[in-house]
Amino acid sequence: MLLDFLKLVGLGLFTLLPVANPLTSVTLLLALGKDYTHEERNRQVDRATLYVLGIILVCFYAGNAIMSGFGISIPGLRIAGGLIVAYIGFGMLFPATSQSEASAQIEMAPDEPRVHVDAPHGPRRPPPRDISFIPLALPGTAGPGTIALIISNATTIHSTHGLQISAQLAVITVAVLVAGIFWICMRSAERINRFLGQSGIDAVSRVMGFLLICMGVQFVINGIFELAGKSMPV
């Protein structure tokens, strides 16, 4: 039983980590969370880690049922996920530089006397955008390739090992280990941030944006070819 458990854990990590690739989420955090404080970034990382753990477990135990209930196929999942990844990549490769409409109207408004109210703890800053679920957890780490791999492996494990305790414990262990590795990589982003600096982060962000576009297009291509192969008569 112990040997089967270790084999399943090793196989799960070996197949899941290269596809999940937590370093992708590290780059996303550096690019999208560069204006966050240390505490805000850590909160995003902790929340994203729980999301990754939840997505892995939900996809393994209920992925087939959810996709069947909504009529979603694996090729459809790949194509939709590829479009999302490509959209995020375009945003990183071509960041918005124009002013928002609200700030433009404020600058164009005539000078008027304004009443300044001193806040007890200094000027208030708007709360940061929550990026823990999208894009850090999904599709950063638990992307369409990861979800498709988990669902396909779940079918294999259920048909081969059934409800064996060793198999169920191995699944939970792999999910916890992947989430732990994700957390360690994301917490290391602070050191990477200090090492690269603002210009380095901008450069990495644009390179990563281009790579995400390529990944998204490849997901779409794979989904189209898989869909065409299933629809073609043999």
Q: Is the pTM here over 0.75, yes or no?
A: no
CA distance 96 to 4: 51
Q: What is the pLDDT of residues 185-200, one digit of tens each?
A: 999 887 877 787 778 7
- Provide the pLDDT confidence category of residue 122 given band limits of 50, 70 and 90: low
Please check whether residue 17 lies inside any domain of the structure.
Answer: no
Please check whether residue 166 lies inside any domain of the structure.
Answer: yes
Please check whether residue 5 lies inside any domain of the structure.
Answer: no
Look at 35 and 54; give whichever has higher pLDDT: 54
Please check whether residue 117 lies inside any domain of the structure.
Answer: no
Please check whether residue 101 lies inside any domain of the structure.
Answer: no
Angle between helix 38-69 and helix 144-160 axes, rounded to 10 deg: 50
Please check whether residue 1 lies inside any domain of the structure.
Answer: no
Q: What is the pLDDT of residues 136-169, one digit of tens each?
A: 998 888 888 788 888 878 877 877 776 688 888 9
Please check whether residue 171 lies inside any domain of the structure.
Answer: yes
Identify the domain containing residue 229 by its residue range.
Answer: 25-32+46-95+128-234
Please check whether residue 71 lies inside any domain of the structure.
Answer: yes
pLDDT of 95 reads 78
List CB contacts of 26: < 8 A, sequence separation 6 or more.
185, 186, 188, 189, 192
pLDDT of 100 reads 42
Altogether, the residues listed in the chain come to a count of: 234
What sections of the chain are H helices per DSSP? 2-20, 22-32, 38-69, 74-93, 101-108, 144-160, 165-187, 189-231
List CB contacts of 107: < 8 A, sequence separation 6 or more.
99
CB 75 within 8 A of CB 227: yes
pLDDT, mean of residues 174-183: 95
**Total domain count for the chain?**
1
